[in-house]
Amino acid sequence: MKNPGRTILPRLTMLAALATSGPAAAEILVRNQAEYFEAAKRARPGDTIVLANGVWNDFEIVLDAKGTAERPITLTAQEKGGVIVTGRSNLRLAGKHLVVRGLVFRHGSSPTREVIAFRRQKDNLAHHSRVTEVVIDRFNHPKRYETDFWVVMYGKHNRFDHNHLEGKTNAGVTLAVRLNSKSSTENHHRIDHNYFGPRPILGSNGGETLRIGTSRYSLEDSNTLVENNYFDRCNGELEIISNKSGGNVFRGNVFFESRGTLTLRHGDGNRVEKNVFWGNGADHTGGIRVINRRQTVRDNYLSRLTGHRFGAALVVMNGVPNSPLNRYQRVEDSLIENNTVIDGHRIELAAGSDEERTAVPRATKFRNNLIVNSAERDSIAVHDDIDGIAFESNLLDGVSTAPAETGFRSASIELERAENGLLYPRDRSLDGVGVSRNFPVLDREQTGVSWYPKAGRGSELDRRKTRVVQPGDHSLAATVERSDPGDVLWLEPGEHRVSTIVEIDRPITIAGRPNASKPRILFERGTLFELAAGGQLKLVGIEILGGEAPDASGNAVIRASGSSVSGNYRLIVNDVSVANLDTNHSFDFFRASPGTFAERVEIAGSEFRNITGHVLALDRETEDLGRYNGESIAISDSSFRDIAKTIASIYRGGTDESTFGPRFSFRRSKVSRVGLGRRNESEASIRIWGVQKAEIHANEFADSRPIRVVHTAGEPRTVLGDNLFVNTPEPTIVERAAASNGRPQAVRP
């Protein structure tokens, strides 16, 4: 079909309207990739290209065109949410005055380093363009430490708004602003009203949700506005937001139960104001970390944040004298005023002070801040000289020690909750301290899109129906295969024989019936359960016997598969008996694989005996890059007898400071003849290396190898108390040079 001056593709529909100048605008419906690329090639100002509803697989979308401010070129879905982009797909924009809206990226990953890029090539950038109402949901590279970015903004005067980004599990920033050329500095981008959904713990550096700039270009101004975004459980690493450029404004954002801080890592002259941080007592929730010059932190509300050190409610860092670009500039000429901190566990001043970071803050004001604890707490820590911070008119309640003799007043303050949900002093004469009363608080539903569900809450285990499994040769594996996420499998008493490796790629509970004898599971393969992507496994009230496993070294009852790298997993073991893992050497109960990550491993009320390997082997990240295999490992009320290697071998190498774990606890358990095997190279009953927090309490050790602890990066702390050692050496704790400037690390009550 022909039209004067333009060729229209078959099956395309065009709705033309007369314009006062230039050619008529068109709305063009395309149904396949060939039609799309032809329409994109011919797009004119005012045109709208409509992708037909359906699944678009392996689609590398390029929109390289020039609209005008009055007549942008638009790419949209036929119906919002009706276009699902899958497989090896991405989107690249180049030109001017472009708009993309309504697409969903799901069930795939980008073939390049970016899912959405505001450029086509290095010198072909997008300017004055907008991406809005787009969803990226778990669009992850299958390899955990293969780095890619979901969105990268180049060019100038672009906007990214009302989008939904959730579930990034591999390395790389969720959204980055790049300043790697003059065409992208002083960009005046706007990032607003986006929903940044849960990002699981990465267990490594490189898990930021938002980054503006890099250390190399940190002396440049970006002038980016980050406003009215919702950060929901963004737990990738220490820096939720990593600011690495100057002139940026962070205003009106909400951080909900997100681990880490908004970090002014590099760059000068940034402003952080009217943000809300809801910690709700969740682990490692933090607020704002200040580094560099001329920073303003004003009118922010921080509630029930539990973080400490670099992840505290408010952190003012020490710097490095004559710092290179990638280290720490001194805090100087900065202002921290009218912030409210309610039940924050820590405020850190001159944080990070060590042999390198000796440049203390100077010419900085800390004034009119309200700090209230419902129970008295020593919540303000001073790590070095703070004479360079001028304190003025700060009000404290429930803080046991003020950081300076002047500039703080303690009083009993009665708080009341206002219509905006924030707490204020009932005494209106105190209105000049803390956040303002006209403070607008963003609601989650004001962000993202209305037509795509936001993340729910709570565990996915034990949430669906119960399936009864009779004893037999194949019934357990078959029932797991047809189970739905959250199902509970009740095993009847008797022998359940398994001849295949059972893949766990969803939340599953396998349990014995309450008040009945424990069902026994025997297995014929080198692995009984393999945790794959999306897997969560809970074992309750069962017995596992390894006597029918192959006569081969390296067996494991449970193994984290290399295919699980795209998602974290959980393992819960309660009231389980495990025995006879001894058909050959190095037979482990649980073994991680490189690139896999457990958010939690929990053993309670269980018994382990006659094992030639480890009970828990989470020591497979050996490249000393700050990576590790598990965040939280907890063992309680259990017994271990005749274990050739260790109860737990946990390793985190390197000196990176951007993570919070691992954490380890071992309580009220009995240990007998553990660690004595000739292949136990660690010569330990428990070996923890690089763990940030360890508690070993009220245990009995007999005829076993010692506990061996090595402290490395950060401020690791090991607490040992009320343990009994019979014919077992005392624990050994080694402080390595990188560990926190020689501060006391081990506590032995």
CA distance 79 to 528: 46
CATH number of the domain to which 596 belongs: 2.160.20
CA distance 672 to 579: 14
Name residue 724's beta-bridge partners: 700
pLDDT band at 691 (very low <50, low <70, confident <90, very high): very high
Domain match, 700 and 600 both: yes
Q: Under a CB-based contact definition with an 8 Å cutoff, are residues 540 and 510 in contact?
A: yes
Q: What's the confidence (pLDDT) of residue 459?
A: 66
Beta strands per DSSP E along 322-465:
335-337, 340-342, 347-351, 364-367, 370-377, 380-382, 389-392, 394-399, 408-410, 415-417, 423-425
Q: Quick check: is 458 in a domain? A: no
Q: What's the confidence (pLDDT) of residue 11?
A: 40
What's the angle, vertex CA 612, arms to CA 608 and CA 616, rounded to 5? Answer: 55
Rounded mean pLDDT, 39-58: 97
Domain match, 165 and 54 both: no
Q: What's the confidence (pLDDT) of residue 640?
A: 99
Phi/psi for 39 (5° steps) reads -65, -40
Domain match, 499 and 623 both: yes
Q: Quick check: is 460 in a domain? A: no
Last residue of a domain, one of 106, 139, 172: 139
Max Cα–Cα distance, the chain, nearest Å: 96
For 195, the 3-state DSSP assignment is: strand
Full 3-state SS string of 432-488: CCCCCCCCCCCCHHHCCCCCCCCCCCCCCCCCCCEEEECCECCHHHHHHHHCCCCEE
Domain match, 48 and 131 both: yes
Tens digits of per-residue pLDDT, 606-642?
999 999 999 999 999 999 999 999 999 999 999 999 9
Q: How many domains does the chain have?
A: 3
Domain hosting residue 505, numbered range: 466-747
For 274, the 3-state DSSP assignment is: coil
Name residue 389's beta-bridge partners: 364
Last residue of a domain, one of 77, 105, 139: 139
Q: What's the confidence (pLDDT) of residue 121?
A: 94
Q: What's the confidence (pLDDT) of residue 741?
A: 44
pLDDT band at 561 (very low <50, low <70, confident <90, very high): confident
Rounded mean pLDDT, 361-381: 97
Q: Is the pLDDT reported for residue 8 higher than 70?
A: no
Q: Is the pLDDT reported for residue 465 higher than 90?
A: no
Q: Is the pLDDT reported for residue 747 higher than 50?
A: yes
Token readout for 583 is: 């058909």
Q: pTM for this structure?
A: 0.91
Q: Quick check: is 145 in a domain? A: no
Q: Quick check: is 30 in a domain? A: yes
DSSP string, 118-130: SEEETTEEEES-E
Domain match, 446 and 483 both: no
Rounded mean pLDDT, 129-148: 95
Q: Under a CB-based contact definition with an 8 Å cutoff, are residues 252 and 440 in contact?
A: yes
pLDDT band at 463 (very low <50, low <70, confident <90, very high): confident
Last residue of a domain, one of 420, 452, 484: 452
Which of 696, 626, 614 is CA-nearest to residue 661? 626
Tell me how crowded residue 361 is: count the other CB atoms within 10 A of its CB: 26
Tens digits of per-residue pLDDT, 86-137?
999 999 999 999 999 999 999 999 999 999 999 999 999 999 999 999 999 9
Tens digits of per-residue pLDDT, 491-507?
999 999 999 999 999 99
pLDDT band at 713 (very low <50, low <70, confident <90, very high): confident
Which of 286, 292, 284 is CA-nearest to residue 317? 292
Place of tokens 């009119």: 368
Say which residues have a Cβ less than 8 Å from residue 158's Cβ, sequence separation at least 6.
Answer: 118, 126, 127, 128, 129, 130, 187, 189, 190
Rounded mean pLDDT, 407-427: 96
Least confident of 55-64, 440-449, 467-476: 467-476
Between 472 and 655, name the one with better pLDDT: 472
pLDDT band at 460 (very low <50, low <70, confident <90, very high): confident
Q: Quick check: is 147 in a domain? A: no
Tell me how crowded residue 206 is: count the other CB atoms within 10 A of its CB: 20
Domain match, 384 and 530 both: no
Say which residues have a Cβ less than 8 Å from residue 322's Cβ, sequence separation at least 6.
Answer: none
What's the angle, vertex CA 206, arms to CA 205 and CA 211, rounded to 5? Answer: 125
CATH number of the domain to which 400 belongs: 2.160.20.10
Domain match, 34 and 129 both: yes
Token readout for 146 is: 């293969």
Q: Under a CB-based contact definition with an 8 Å cutoff, are residues 253 and 287 in contact?
A: no
Domain match, 241 and 270 both: yes
Rounded mean pLDDT, 541-561: 95
pLDDT band at 454 (very low <50, low <70, confident <90, very high): very high
CA distance 633 to 615: 12
Rounded mean pLDDT, 380-396: 97
Q: What's the confidence (pLDDT) of residue 471?
A: 95
Tens digits of per-residue pLDDT, 17-35?
333 445 678 899 999 999 9
Q: What's the confidence (pLDDT) of residue 96?
A: 98
Token readout for 543 is: 């017995």
- 461: Cα within 13 Å, side-chain hemisphere: 17
Domain match, 445 and 470 both: no
Which of 274, 163, 154, 293 is CA-nearest to residue 224? 154
Q: Quick check: is 527 in a domain? A: yes
Domain match, 123 and 196 both: no
CA distance 480 to 462: 14
Q: Quick check: is 440 in a domain? A: yes
Q: Is the pLDDT reported for residue 231 higher than 90?
A: yes
CA distance 517 to 541: 9
Tell me how crowded residue 392 is: count the other CB atoms within 10 A of its CB: 13
Rounded mean pLDDT, 57-69: 98
Q: Quick check: is 267 in a domain? A: yes
Phi/psi for 444 (5° steps) reads -55, -35
For 730, the 3-state DSSP assignment is: coil
Q: Under a CB-based contact definition with an 8 Å cutoff, are residues 650 and 633 in contact?
A: yes
Q: Is the pLDDT reported for residue 672 higher than 80?
A: yes
Domain match, 490 and 608 both: yes
Tens digits of per-residue pLDDT, 287-306?
999 999 999 999 999 999 99
Chain centroid offset of residue 745 CA: 26
What's the angle, vertex CA 549, arms to CA 548 and CA 554, rounded to 5? Answer: 155
Q: Over the chain, what is the mean pLDDT?
A: 93
Least confident of 3-7, 141-145, 530-534: 3-7
CA distance 454 to 3: 45
Tens digits of per-residue pLDDT, 181-204?
999 999 999 999 999 999 999 998
Q: Is the pLDDT reported for residue 739 higher than 60?
A: no
Q: What DSSP state is assigned to residue 509? A: E
Q: Under a CB-based contact definition with an 8 Å cutoff, are residues 221 and 269 in contact?
A: yes
Which of 26, 27, 35 is CA-nearest to residue 54? 35
Q: Under a CB-based contact definition with an 8 Å cutoff, are residues 287 and 300 in contact?
A: yes
Rg of the chain (C-alpha set) = 28
Q: Under a CB-based contact definition with an 8 Å cutoff, are residues 135 and 106 in contact?
A: yes
Which of 352, 342, 370 is CA-nearest to residue 265? 352
Q: Is the pLDDT reported for residue 15 higher than 50?
A: no
- 381: Cα within 13 Å, side-chain hemisphere: 21
- 354: Cα within 13 Å, side-chain hemisphere: 14
Which of 59, 53, 176 is CA-nearest to residue 109? 59
Q: Is the pLDDT reported for residue 4 higher than 50?
A: no
Domain match, 538 and 639 both: yes
Which of 650, 601, 645, 600 is CA-nearest to residue 622? 650
Q: For the purposes of burial, counting CB atoms within 10 Å of the CB of 598, is it exposed (0-12), middle (13-18) or buried (19 or more)?
A: buried
